Amino acid sequence: MSEPSASEPTEPILQANQPEGVPPLPLTGERTLPDVPEENYWYRRHLVVYEWIAKRCRDKSVVDLACGEGYGSDLLAQEASSVVGVDANPEAHEHARLRYRRPNLEFRRELVEAYDDPCDVVVFCQTIEHIHEPEKLLDRIASLAPVAYITTPNRLTLAPEGAEKSDNPWHIREYDAAEYRDLLERSFDRVKVLGLFHSGKLRLHEHALKLGWDRVHKGLGVTERFYDRFTPSINSSDFALRPGNLDRALDFVAVCSSDRARST
């Protein structure tokens, strides 16, 4: 299914309505952002997974690797005893540091491959597909914490049929379910993979596309008006995280555990 948006941006889009003193980040495609109506589908798609993980991090020390804008780290910190958000990008780090402030939350500007402090839980969302040497990084993650939540998009639903990867220039490699499980099982003792699927109005949107909705809205000339309302209205209830036919999943959410983790 294609992203439910009206049109491709022709110039950089910045986050709207940022707190005073917080520089807005531009939407580049490297990371998703809140406070950008056109990006709401992808933001909610990622946020619902962070919400699910946060419920499992209560009173735990957590490291959020490749934390980007920082919204996920802030959400985790609502449940965890402590959270460290790690990102190497200077603009993202500065934005996160200034915007999200909690006594139990800190942000560090550092390569995820270099981070070496043990913790209870590692969270690593939508980034393994950006990594040149994923096996080495996964081995490091397995040594840092007994539990890790690691997510990635499903190549079969992100890329065109038969393609090796999507056209996202930031992605080095994308995985199907079998490839992803094989990659993780090289580093972790136990791996459970769930799928993220459309639900609610996004499920209805899927059915509408199969019935020819793309032709209808273009023919009626209502594309921009429809998606200007539809996309910002998407929320967490429009996604479902569950086991099932992973070949049809949007994203894979892996719960990985290791017996080799160092003590905190």
Strand order across the 239-242 sheet: 105-109, 82-87, 61-65, 121-125, 147-153, 251-257, 190-198, 239-242
HSE of 151, CA atoms in CB hemisphere, 13 A: 24
Give percent of the chain with pLDDT exceeding 90.
88
Contacts of 234 (CB under 8 A, 6+ apart): 4, 40, 41, 44, 201, 202
Give the CATH number of domain 13-257.
3.40.50.150
- pTM here is 0.93
Contacts of 116 (CB under 8 A, 6+ apart): 140, 144
Strand 26-27, strand 251-257: pairing: unpaired
In three-state secondary structure terms, 141 is: helix
Q: Residue 8 has what pLDDT?
A: 52
**Does position 157 have pLDDT exceeding 90, yes or no?**
yes
CA distance 84 to 126: 17
Continuous segment of H or E residues that includes residue 252:
strand 251-257
Q: Residue 30 has what pLDDT?
A: 92
